[in-house]
Structure 1
Amino acid sequence: MKKAFLASMLAAACVSATYAVAQTPVNTNNGAAAQGPQLSADEYTAYQAVITATDPAAKATAAEAFLTKFPQSSVKSTVLEQLVAGYAGSNNVPKTLESADKLLQVDPNNIRALALETSLLKAQGDSATDPAAKQSAYDKAADAASRGLKATKPAAVADADWAAIQKQVTPYFYSAIGIDALTKKDSAGAIAAYTSELKAVDVAATTQPGPVLQDTYFLGQAYYTSTPPDYLNCTYFATRTAIYAPEQFKSTFQPLATYCYKKFHGAEDGYDAVKAVAKDNLFPPADFATSVKPAPTPADQATTVFEADKKEDPTLTKTNIADREFVITNGTTEQAEAEFAPIKDKEVKLTGKVVSIADTTLTLAVSDDAKQANPLVADVSVTLTEAPKVAPVVGADVTVVGSMASYTQKPMMFTMTGGTIEGKAAAKAPAKAAPARRAPARKR
Structure 2
Amino acid sequence: MKKLVIASVMALASLSLAPAPKVYAQDISIKDPAEYNAFQMFSSQNDPKQKVAAGESFLKQYPQSQVKNLVLDQMIDASQAAQDQASVVKYAGELLQVDPNNLKAILYSVVIKKQQCSAANGSDQATCDDAAAMAQKGLALQKPAAMAQPEWDKLTHAAFPIFHSAIALDDTVKKDSKAAQQEYTTELKSYSEDEAKSTGLNDTLLLAQAYAQPGSSQDLKQAIWFFARVWALAPAQYKAQIEPKLEYYYKKYHGGLDGLDEIKAKAATSVFPTADYNPPPAKSPQEQIHDLIASTPNLDTLALSDKETILGVGSKEDADKMWAVLQGKQTQVPGIVISATADQVQVAVTEDAKASKQADFIVNLKKPLTEAEQKIVQPGFEFKSAPDAMLVGTYDTYKQLPATDTTSASAQVVLKDGEFVPAEKKKATPAHHAPAARRPRH
Category of TM-score, reference length = shorter chain: 0.5 to 0.7
Is this contact kept in 1: 2:9–2:200, CA < 8 A? no
State how 1:158-177 maps to structure 2 within 5 Å. 158-177=148-167
Give me the whole-angstrom Cα distance separating, in 1, the residues matched to 2:107 and 2:196: 20
> CA-atom RMSD, angstroms?
3.4
Name the structure 2 match of 1:14.
Answer: 14
Name the structure 2 match of 1:100.
Answer: 92
Q: 1:149 to 1:24 in 2, by over 3 A?
A: farther
Is this contact kept in 1: 2:254–2:282, CA < 8 A? yes
The one-letter code of the counterpart of 2:70 is T
Is this contact kept in 1: 2:178–2:217, CA < 8 A? no
Unaligned runs of 5+ in 2: 295-314, 327-394, 403-442
State how 1:10-409 maps to structure 2 within 5 Å. 11-15=11-15, 20-22=19-21, 38-128=30-120, 131-133=122-124, 135-208=125-198, 212-225=200-213, 227-288=216-277, 291-297=278-284, 367-370=317-320, 372=322
Q: Over residues 366-403 of structure 1, what are the superposed CA-to-partner deviations in whole Å (9 max), with x where a residue is unaligned? A: 601245479x9xxxxxxxxxxxxxxxxx979xxxxxxx
* Structure with the greater alpha carbon radius of gyration: 1
Shifted more, 99-108 versus 119-128: the winner is 119-128
The one-letter code of the counterpart of 1:165 is L
Give me the whole-angstrom Cα distance separating, in 2, the residues matched to 1:62 and 1:39: 20
Q: Over residues 121-171 of structure 1, what are the superposed CA-to-partner deviations in whole Å (9 max), with x where a residue is unaligned? A: 122223236x433x3332222222111111222233222221111111222
Is this contact kept in 2: 1:121–1:137, CA < 8 A? yes
Q: Over residues 390-425 of structure 1, what are the superposed CA-to-partner deviations in whole Å (9 max), with x where a residue is unaligned? A: xxxx979xxxxxxxxxxxxx9xxxxxxxxxxxxxxx
Give me the whole-angstrom Cα distance separating, in 2, the residues matched to 1:90 and 1:7: 23
Give me the whole-angstrom Cα distance separating, in 2, the residues matched to 1:250 and 1:293: 25
Instruction: Give the length in aligned residue pairs.
Output: 306
Is this contact kept in 2: 1:142–1:180, CA < 8 A? yes
Unaligned runs of 5+ in 1: 28-34, 306-319, 321-364, 377-393, 397-409, 411-444
Q: Over residues 78-130 of structure 1, what are the superposed CA-to-partner deviations in whole Å (9 max), with x where a residue is unaligned? A: 2111121111111111111111111111111111111111111122223236x
Q: 1:13 to 1:7 in 2, by over 3 A?
A: farther
Q: Which has the higher contact order (CA 8 A, sep 6+)?
A: 2
TM-score normalised to structure 2 length: 0.62
Give me the whole-angstrom Cα distance separating, in 2, the residues matched to 1:261 and 1:230: 11
Deviation at 1:269, TM superposition (A): 0.9
Deviation at 1:300, TM superposition (A): 8.9
Is this contact kept in 1: 2:13–2:81, CA < 8 A? no
Q: 1:3 to 1:187 in 2, by over 3 A?
A: closer
Deviation at 1:216, TM superposition (A): 0.4
Identity over the aligned pairs, expressed in percent? 35
Deviation at 1:24, TM superposition (A): 7.3
SS in structure 2 of the partner of residue 39 of structure 1:
coil
Q: 1:26 to 1:77 in 2, by over 3 A?
A: farther
Is this contact kept in 1: 2:207–2:226, CA < 8 A? yes
Deviation at 1:18, TM superposition (A): 5.3
Give me the whole-angstrom Cα distance separating, in 1, the residues matched to 2:396 and 2:90: 60
Shifted more, 232-241 versus 186-195: the winner is 186-195
Q: 1:179 to 1:149 in 2, by over 3 A?
A: same
Deviation at 1:175, TM superposition (A): 1.5
Deviation at 1:277, TM superposition (A): 1.1
Is this contact kept in 2: 1:24–1:75, CA < 8 A? no
Name the structure 2 match of 1:360.
Answer: none
TM-score normalised to structure 1 length: 0.62
Deviation at 1:22, TM superposition (A): 4.0
Deviation at 1:293, TM superposition (A): 1.3
Give me the whole-angstrom Cα distance separating, in 1, the residues matched to 2:221 and 2:274: 12
Deviation at 1:19, TM superposition (A): 5.3
Deviation at 1:36, TM superposition (A): 6.0
Q: 1:368 to 1:153 in 2, by over 3 A?
A: same
SS in structure 1 of the partner of residue 35 of structure 2:
helix
